[in-house]
Amino acid sequence: MSLKFDLITTDGNARRGRVHTAHGDFETPAFMAVGTAATVKALTMDQVAATGTQVILGNTYHLMMRPGGDLVERMGGLHKFSGWHGPILTDSGGFQVMSLSNLVKMKEEGVEFTSHIDGGIKHFMRPEDSVHIQHQLDSNITMVLDECLKLPTTRARAEKNVDMVTRWAQRSKDAFVDRDGYGIFGIVQGADFPDLREKSARALTEIGFDGYAIGGLAVGEPQDVMFNMIATVAPMLPTDKPRYLMGVGTPLDILGAVERGVDMFDCVMPTRAGRTAQAFTRHGTMNMRNAKFKDDSAPLDDKCGCPACKLSRAYLHHLIKCNEVLGATLLTQHNLWFYQDLMREIRESIEQGRFQEFKAEFIKNYTGEK
């Protein structure tokens, strides 16, 4: 396996690293912008890059449905197709097993999806199929096909899930075509049962992957449960491989997960929030529809260098109230810029041995709590 990871330094359990791929390096802890259908919604790839984003995420299920792996391969892969020239990670379709559960039939061999587009055509995806499509997409980081369970769930259901996704993980790795600068990650499951999380982590490390994801969290459980599961799993994973917490999350979730040893994150939150008039700032979130911003000449965040923060809150409020597309674009770019500033500051604080100090100061400013 040929995806390389350097662990540069640590501060407690917080880790500062670097991942080397065929399409460039990225620094960790890292936040990946979600580009489900080969686009980060409302932004060009140049606008995404301007935020400091190093990695984007695509989705195997959605790209299988439209435009199809064969077409993307003919176009030269996702990098050429989308215009993003940095590293790309692709989710395997396992999250859609949960999010589209009313359109899914689970079998040992794989997953049958009824099209969410027209409700007619059925598509069967085996672990091997998911890996093959990700190869067609030319994804730098392939994820094994798994099944994401919504919490809460029963122990019996979680046990069955762990056993099946372990078998699928082995099949996924066997189907993966090893090449320089590309890798495949296993996904730890086990719901909110610590012993099942440990069982899953042990099984995946025995198979051996380029990196390890913690899946099945931020799906209905309280934050303390999520943190407990991370604290259970992280020490069991190899220190020389990157650790990825899937689908997380808020700035406070990210800080708590970094504190427990996580290196990589993704979430639709900053981009979705930008399209719905919510802005992230160092002093918390702002709803730009709120009338109090009508006459506010201040920038969103005076420490942010993004294009939106060169304008007034009043102007951004005006764009949102008029349903101008520019409003969604500016807020989306701002939110990604904010997240990438946060990740850069986290990396710097780990390098300087002051992560806990930075975390406490950020939370104080962000929440207003003393």
As a whole number of angstroms, the distance between CA 17 and CA 107 comes to 38
CB atoms within 10 A of CB 158: 22
> What is the chain's length?
370
- Among 11, 146, 192, 266, the one annotated catalytic: 266
- Among 91, 146, 253, 263, the one annotated catalytic: 91
As a whole number of angstroms, the distance between CA 320 and CA 44 comes to 20
Instruction: For the chain, count helices (H), then strands (E).
Output: 14, 16
Nearest by Cα to 332 from 51, 31, 88: 51
Could you give the C-alpha distances from 114 to 58, 62, 104, 132, 224, in angstroms and in order? Answer: 20, 12, 6, 20, 35
Q: Which is it for strands 243-245 and 211-214: parallel, antiparallel or unpaired?
A: parallel
91 in catalytic set: yes
Q: Is-contact 42 115, C-beta < 8 A?
A: no
Active-site amino acid positions: 91, 266
